[in-house]
């Protein structure tokens, strides 16, 4: 049975549950005017993917507020699945994150000028949480769809990791039937022109990738075994 859903009436007058997927992206930060995570997410707002209704919400790059904004969006949308996207300038592929850690160690100030260092996201919370998405099946299907992808075992220690840990803590403590995780995406080409040598992915490729993530996460309950580790 689905945790939350939109109800659609069929010709038989029976109500069938339609899953709802929340996709989040982040506002621009660090002097950028775009954030590829939000540009991809907003393209899909209101769409239907694999029979599920998609709702997109933008999150702030404000470490002390972002988890509260995410919580509000989840309470408003009541999704079955949450996929949070974030920018990872310098990465060459779509990075499906494996683990969130309970620390903020901000290399740069956030959009309100705050720069927490060595602070917990949740005081007294577990050291880490694993994603509840089928991360390796997602990577497999992204590659099959022509989208470069890999499993990542570090979501950083900035706003993105804060989002990921906040989501995972909410799932673990309050919403055990909700599934969710975090995915980093590279710069868009127009952003990479201001960062010589930085890799990028076109927006249409990112959007195709997000559609693939949603479809796989809805279809796969038990993740696959796939060698996707790293030596360092």
Residue-level pLDDT at 11:
47
- Structural domain boundaries enclosing 153: 20-219
Q: Is 93 a domain residue? A: yes
Residue-level pLDDT at 232:
80
CATH code, domain with 207:
3.40.630.20
pLDDT mean across residues, the chain? 94
Active site residues: 97, 160, 184
Q: Is 144 a domain residue? A: yes
Q: Is 7 a domain residue? A: no
Residue range 75-98, pLDDT digits in tens:
999 999 999 999 999 999 999 999
pTM: 0.93
Q: Is 3 a domain residue? A: no
Q: Is 6 a domain residue? A: no
Q: Is 5 a domain residue? A: no
Residue range 23-49, pLDDT digits in tens:
999 999 999 999 999 999 999 999 999
User: What span, in angstroms and rounded, lies between the C-alpha atoms of 65 and 33?
Assistant: 21
Q: How far apart are the first and last CA of the chain?
A: 40
Residue-level pLDDT at 143:
98
The answer to whether residues 5 and 18 touch, using CB atoms and an 8 Å cutoff, is yes
Q: Is 12 a domain residue? A: no
Q: Is 9 a domain residue? A: no
By the 10 Å C-beta count (0-12 exposed, 13-18 middle, 19+ buried), 118 is classed as exposed
Instruction: Specify the number of domains making up the chain.
Output: 1
The one-character DSSP state at 61 is S
């Amino acid at each position: 049975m689905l945790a939350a859903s939109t109800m659609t009436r069929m010709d038989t007058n029976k109500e069938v549950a339609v899953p709802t997927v929340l996709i989040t992206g982040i506002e621009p930060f660090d002097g950028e005017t775009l954030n590829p995570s939000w540009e991809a997410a907003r393209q899909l707002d209101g769409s239907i993917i694999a029979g599920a209704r998609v709702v997109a919400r933008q999150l702030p790059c404000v470490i002390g507020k972002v988890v509260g904004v995410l919580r509000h969006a989840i309470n408003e949308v009541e999704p079955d699945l949450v996929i949070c996207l974030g920018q990872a300038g310098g990465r060459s592929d779509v990075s499906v994150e494996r683990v969130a850690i309970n620390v903020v160690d901000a290399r740069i100030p956030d959009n309100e000028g705050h720069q927490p260092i060595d602070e917990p996201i949740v005081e007294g919370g577990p050291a880490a949480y694993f994603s509840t998405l089928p991360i390796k099946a997602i990577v497999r299907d992204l590659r099959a769809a022509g989208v470069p992808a890999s499993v990542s075992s570090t979501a950083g220690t900035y706003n993105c990791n804060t989002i990921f840990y906040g989501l995972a803590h909410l799932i673990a403590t309050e919403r055990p039937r909700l599934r969710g995780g975090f995915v980093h995406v590279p710069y868009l080409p127009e952003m990479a022109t201001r960062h010589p040598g930085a890799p990028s992915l076109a927006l249409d490729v990112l959007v195709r990738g997000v559609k693939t993530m949603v479809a796989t996460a809805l279809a796969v309950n038990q993740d696959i075994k796939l060698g996707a580790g790293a030596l360092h």
